[in-house]
Every structure is written in C-alpha cells, then in structure tokens.
Chains A and B, each alone.
Chain A
Amino acid sequence: EIVLTQSPGALSLSPGERATLSCRASQSVSSGNLAWYQQKPGQAPKLLIYAASTRATGIPARFSGSGSGTDFTLTISRLEPEDFAVYYCQQYGGSPLFTFGPGTKVDIK
C-alpha cells in the first residue's frame, strides 16, 4: 500500500498569507498521479488539483500543485477567507488503487 503522509497536521495563518502543504508518499506515485482536495465541515471533498499540477475546472489560480516521485506540494498563494478548510492528497496506482492522506487543517490565526 502506498501510504501518504501530510505535513504539517495543522497550519494557523492569516488571510493574505501563503500556505504551503506537503504530501509525502511511501513509494513513488505512478506518473505523478496525485490529486488534492479541499473539505469544509459538513461537505464532501472538492477536487482542486489532479495530475500533481493541473487545476480542476473553476479552481482559482491562487491554488497550485507541484512535485513528482514521492514529494508533492500544494500552495495557496494568498489565503482568502473561504480557503480555511482541511486539505487531502490522494494517489492512484498502488494497491489499493486509491489512497488518501490524513489531511492538513488550515485555520485562521
């Protein structure tokens, strides 16, 4: 199983600040098959990034993804009030085919 580790577990920032979230895989993620999701309380996760760096439809340009192999990063360039949420990474290609990280909570400082 490819285990995803996210760091930090929680991040306290102010609106306008930059957020850098890390996702590390226990083995190389096939072809950069890594996605990022945002989840707010009481809601389903929402796809932000797929293929490590491609923004999903309608996702603002302040969200960007990078990385390859075992190390991936989600960057939010300037936090907006609606960005405070939990963020998950997800890989495809291991066994099981899909696994998720434990999440990083971004809250308001």
Chain B
Amino acid sequence: QVQLQESGPGLLKPSEPLSLTCTVSGGSISSYYWSWIRQSPGKGLEWIGYITYSGTTNYNPSLKSRVTISLERSTNQFSLKMSSLTAADTAVYYCARVRVTVYGEMIYYAFDMWGQGTMVAVSS
C-alpha cells in the first residue's frame, strides 16, 4: 500500500522560504505524477503544482513565480520550495499522487493518494 508523508518546518517568518519534502513508501516515485495541494480556511483547497515521473512540472499560475517542485529518485521523495512567504501562505500542505487514467482517447486526472498534511504557519 502506497503511503505519503510530508515533512518540514511548521512555523516560518514572513519573507522566509518554505521547503517541504514528501516521502513515498510502498511504491516507486518513478511512475505516476506527484502534486502539492494546500488548504486554508480562507481559500479552501488550492492546487500548487505537479511533477511527472520524468521531471516535467506544471504550476498554478498564481504561484508559479514562487514555487519549485522537484523529484529525488534515490530517496523516493519529491519536494516543494516556495519563496517570499506571507501570512496568506499559512495553510495545511498536502502531498498527493495524481492518478492518470486513459479511456481510449480520454485522459482523466484525480488525486488518489494523499499524505496526512502538515501545517505551515507564517507569522512574525
């Protein structure tokens, strides 16, 4: 059974960078797409971006200038880096696996496995 686990600091100051890691166990990271999603009371669930098994990335345009997602195959992990944090970045951050299902010419995407989430607070 595949499991995902986020790790990283829980409290950061404004303007500091965020670095989170997601460790994937029970399966290889060298297949599937892998994503970061955050959830805050004010903005609900917000997709941050994903990385494919080959390292191609796609980001939410609203965050693209501040975000980098990368893969570390040797440790079966992927990571999120976000710069210039503000209080608006306070949220629970989830890592998730993207299920890509092909039905003929149709391709469907959904998040089928999630980590438990890690709370990140940005405060001076």
Contact = CB atoms under 8 A, between A and B. Distances in A.
Interface string B91-123: 000101001010100111111101111000000
Interface residues of B, number: 26
B99 A44 contact: no
Contact of A44 (B47, B50, B94, B107): B94
A100 B99 contact: no
Interface residues of A, number: 27
A25 interface: no
Contacts of B96: 44
A45 B106 contact: no
A60 interface: no
B45 A31 contact: no
Interface string A92-109: 100111111111000000
Majority DSSP secondary structure for residues of B touching A? strand
Given A44-B115, A96-B61, A97-B58, A50 B45 contact: no
B47 A97 contact: yes
B47 A98 contact: yes
B46 interface: yes
Residue of A32, A37, A44, A103 contacting most chain B CB atoms (<10 Å): A44
B44 A102 contact: yes
Contacts of A100: 44-47
A45 B116 CA distance: 9
Interface of B: 35, 44-47, 50, 58, 60-62, 94, 96, 99, 101, 103, 106-112, 114-117
Interface of A: 31-33, 35, 37, 43-47, 50-51, 54, 56-57, 88, 90, 92, 95-103
